[in-house]
């Protein structure tokens, strides 16, 4: 199992080299909130594998002032941590062992990133992943979903991917309406505040804002 998990994490890193899946598409649309106190800006990369997306975010203009927590299972975290080179990255990025079906341990972060996570799971488990974030969320916190947003019918690539996910993992790609319904089912205090589909980029960016007074309220 550790070998398979490592192979999967490596595949996700490799996929990020393809322009249509490049983390740069996310960097350009990320809710940095530059007006925030830069010393307090924290991003939690949930299920972030070897950390290649956090590396790209950290290297961007706004990301240079942020701190990142990359979460994954133990064997993946060990590999990601050992590959973290350079003092600058080591100061901005740390790895943490976490199963995203369990309660989120990092409380009060500004952004919780779910990149290519939820499309691997049916609604039943997607709801569980989202609810696991709730106790950690502060008012106004962002949950950023970086996944396909199916634009409509007769879109061969998206429908092909949807069938692939259904066949292999009993999962699915989602339309904007599907994403909204999933979030409402998880917790009515999740509000979709932006949905973007960058030109030339396969993945969409669904920006969600937490409207609860606190995760436990």
Would you please indicate which residues are annotated as catalytic (active-site) residues? 119
Asked if 162 contacts 172 with a C-beta cutoff of 8 angstroms, the reply is yes
3-class secondary structure, 170: coil
**Encoding tokens for residue 127?**
């709801």
Query: Residue 201: which H helix or E strand, with range?
Result: none
- Nearest by Cα to 113 from 198, 26, 190: 26
Please provide the size of the chain in residues.
217
**Residues forming a β-bridge with 145:** 114, 206
Among 113, 111, 108, residue whose Cα is nearest residue 48: 113
């Amino acid at each position: 199992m550790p070998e398979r998990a490592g192979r999967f994490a490596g595949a996700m890193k490799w996929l990020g080299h393809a322009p249509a899946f490049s983390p740069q598409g996310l960097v350009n649309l990320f809710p940095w909130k530059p007006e925030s106190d830069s010393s307090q800006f924290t991003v939690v990369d949930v299920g972030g594998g070897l950390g290649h997306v956090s590396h790209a975010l950290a290297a961007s203009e706004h990301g240079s002032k942020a701190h990142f927590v990359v979460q994954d299972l133990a064997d993946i975290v060990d590999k990601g941590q050992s590959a973290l080179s350079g003092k600058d990255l080591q100061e901005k990025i740390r790895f943490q062992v976490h199963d995203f079906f369990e309660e989120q341990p990092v409380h009060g972060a500004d952004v919780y990133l779910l990149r290519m996570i939820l499309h691997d799971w049916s609604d039943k488990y997607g709801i569980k992943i989202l609810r696991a974030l709730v106790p950690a969320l502060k008012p106004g916190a962002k949950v950023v979903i970086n996944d396909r947003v199916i634009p409509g019918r007769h879109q061969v690539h998206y429908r092909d991917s949807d069938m692939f996910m259904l066949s292999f993992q009993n999962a699915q790609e989602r339309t904007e309406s599907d994403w909204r319904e999933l979030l409402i089912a998880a917790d009515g205090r999740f509000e979709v505040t932006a949905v973007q589909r960058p030109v030339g980029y396969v993945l969409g960016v669904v920006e969600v804002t937490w409207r609860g007074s606190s995760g436990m309220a």
